[in-house]
Amino acid sequence: MDFKIAVIKGDGVGPEIVDEGLKVLDKIAQKYNHKFEYTNVLGGGAAIDVTGEPLPKESLDTCKASDAVLLGAVGGPKWDNIESSKRPEKGLLALRSGLGLFVNLRPATMHESIKEASPLRADIVEKGVDFVVVRELTGGIYFGERKTGVENGVEFAYDVEKYDENEIRRIGKKAFETAMIRNKKLTCVDKANVLDSSKLWRKVLNELAKDYPEVELSYMYVDNAAMQLVKDPSQFDVIVTNNIFGDIISDEASMITGSIGMLPSASVRGDDFGMYEPIHGSAPDIAGQNVVNPIATILSVAMMLRYSFKLEEEAKAIEIAVTNVLNAGYRTKDIYNGVGQVVGTKEMGDLIANQI
């Protein structure tokens, strides 16, 4: 089959990891007889340098006309002093919002063979780590009303956390559906002891729960969830949460599994279209050194095959290839903890592609 993929390499380590993702995708194309047509699209700092905008209209249009988007990472110190509405991160947010990608799936799965890379004690990760964070991606404080100013000579700034019931219902449905195809356990992470917005989340989720009687729904305050994640991550199956809590919890989740360099993500909206990116950022401090872990991006490519192209066998082939390479003892620097052999970004990409 033929698929059109918009490719945003972005900034920092972005180009390096995307190249490895495409290497693996090319191997899939060859082996399974598919055609993937890539269109490079400017986004983030790379777009600011050329056009002055973090997401030129042309970029958004190309993404809209594609079957899926593969994104590396955006941002870096070079653009730190730009006015906030023109920062590289704004390009990413405009993409998520402009493409209507309100669901962000961030699976946190620990690979058996790199358990030693987890900073948690062996007896804690012994029971395994396998859950998915369903993060709301186009609402809340990221997109709420904001203002900066001076009042009576005192500087102020605010950002509003606002959700309406429809926004909560559509992400809630996705979360229940995700729970249905997993272990039917859904935890809503919120701050309902303080925030009215969290209370509305609970009201809407309680209503939805009636349609999914098999799913065990529970609630957990975000501070407690942060603690429970390091105390016993095996208790979680599906976590649903707002944009900002999902951002924070998913970084924590990634570290539990060994490294933030391992976790992929899919941003979707209910049809086949989606944007796929590692959950980590542009890591400018290690860019251009062939040391960044490409696995999060390679696994994001697997998610693209699964969710947007419905190529389950091909997606599995990538995931198995990653597992095999890890089992064989190959490690990038971030997941090396005294066991196995350290390889560079390109070598890791080659090893995985060769397994397919």
**88 known member of a binding site:** yes
Whichever of 22 and 101 has its CB closer to Mn ion, that residue is 101
Count CB atoms within 10 A of the CB of residue 32.
14
HSE toward the beta carbon, residue 141, CA cutoff 13 A? 14
Contact between 247 and Mn ion per CB under 5 A: yes
Q: Identify what 114 binds: ligand IPM, Mn ion, none; CB under 5 to 8 Å per kind.
A: none
Distance CA 346, CA 196 (A): 48
Binding track, positions 229-248, relative to ligand IPM; x by CB under 6 A: ------------------x-
Residue nearest to Mn ion (CB): 247
CB of 128 to ligand IPM, least distance (A): 24
**250 known member of a binding site:** no
Tell me if residue 247 is catalytic. Answer: yes
User: Residues touching ligand IPM: how many (CB under 6 A)?
Assistant: 7
* Stretch 164-223 residues interacting with Mn ion (CB under 5 A): none
- CB-based contact 132:178 (threshold 8 Å): yes
- CB-based contact 265:277 (threshold 8 Å): yes
Distance CA 35, CA 203 (A): 46
Contact between 71 and ligand IPM per CB under 6 A: no
Tell me if residue 191 is catalytic. Answer: yes
Tell me if residue 251 is catalytic. Answer: yes
Distance CA 280, CA 265 (A): 10
Full DSSP string of 199-243: HHHHHHHHHHHTT-TTSEEEEEEHHHHHHHHHH-GGG-SEEEE-H
CB of 239 to Mn ion, least distance (A): 15
Residue nearest to ligand IPM (CB): 89
**290 known member of a binding site:** yes
Contact between 136 and Mn ion per CB under 5 A: no
- CB-based contact 342:333 (threshold 8 Å): yes
Measured in whole angstroms, how far is the alpha carbon of residue 195 from the centre of its chain?
25
- Which residue numbers belong to the known binding site? 76-89, 96, 106, 135, 223, 247, 251, 281-293
Catalytic residues: 142, 191, 223, 247, 251
Contact residues for ligand IPM, defined by CB under 6 A: 75, 89, 92-93, 247, 279, 281
Contact residues for Mn ion, defined by CB under 5 A: 247
